[in-house]
Amino acid sequence: MKKNIVLFVLFVLPIVAYLFFASGVNSFSKLPTITPKIADFGDWKSLNGKKVSLDKKITVLGFSGSEILNNRGNYFNLNEKIYKRYNGFEDLQFVILCPVGTEEQAQKVLDALKPFTDVKGWNFVFASPEEIKTFYNQLHLKGKLDANLGTSNVYIVDKERNLRGRKGANKENKDSTDEYKEGYDTFHPSELSNEMLDDFKIILYEYRAALKKNHNATKQL
């Protein structure tokens, strides 16, 4: 009997624990909306001269600031931990909003990523400093842009232009211990690998479940 207990503790229990944590357990069955229906981009151009829109795309949104090259390590972290895992998902885009005049820096970052990955899902979009401030302010976030109009955080925006994240304790669940999270810090690879990846999986699951539901409804019709 003791031998069986020891074997269970040594072999079975670690496997169960691994499966539990590897499943990316999150207390949310649906990722909450932090800010609903944010504005779309203005008539701003990307590096390839094309207009980029938030509509009908799951968007990982960032703000580079004017010191793009100084923060290039953040984009490599994001590329390795999130982008390379999901860049085949056609409804997904990564958009970095940059001040006009930083096009050369952005191109250098993009060129540095090319040897490691297909960069077609990366979009560096350019706007004036005032346009960037106005756009950021309407997100109604607790965090602020730095003096260079940048932040190391990136944000998840769904296809309906809702900014998603974690609301933490709220009136509906006063005992909730989940932290408030509106963005994910690209400076810390562990945050991307854990919190962001966990929340990102929930967003993708929502859309896959909706597609499956619509497909079944079509079949019934």
Q: Evaluate whether residue 148 is within a structural domain.
A: yes
d(CA 176, CA 218): 38
Task: Report the number of distinct structural domains present in the chain.
Answer: 1
Q: Evaluate whether residue 100 is within a structural domain.
A: yes
164 token code pair: 């998603």
Q: Evaluate whether residue 64 is within a structural domain.
A: yes
Q: Evaluate whether residue 17 is within a structural domain.
A: no
* pLDDT average, residue stretch 157-178: 74
Q: pLDDT at position 172, please?
A: 47
Higher pLDDT, 183 or 168: 183
Kindly provide the residue ranges of all beta strands, DSSP E only, lying in the chain, ordered along the sequence.
33-35, 45-46, 58-64, 92-99, 122-127, 150-157, 163-164, 166-167, 180-181, 184-185
pLDDT band with cut points at 50, 70 and 90 for residue 3:
low
Domain around 187: 29-165+178-220
Q: pLDDT at position 74, please?
A: 98
Half-sphere exposure of 111 (CA within 13 A, CB side): 8
Is the pLDDT reported for residue 173 higher than 50? no
pLDDT band with cut points at 50, 70 and 90 for residue 4:
low
Q: Evaluate whether residue 41 is within a structural domain.
A: yes
Q: What percent of the chain has pLDDT over 90?
A: 70
pLDDT band with cut points at 50, 70 and 90 for residue 11:
low
The tokens 């944000």 sit on which residue?
A: 155
- Per-residue CA distances from 131 to 36, 134, 138, 155, 216 (Å): 20, 5, 11, 18, 43
User: Sign of the CA dihedral 57, 61, 65, 66?
Assistant: negative
pLDDT band with cut points at 50, 70 and 90 for residue 208:
confident
Is the pLDDT reported for residue 12 higher than 90? no
CATH of the domain at 149: 3.40.30.10
Q: Evaluate whether residue 109 is within a structural domain.
A: yes
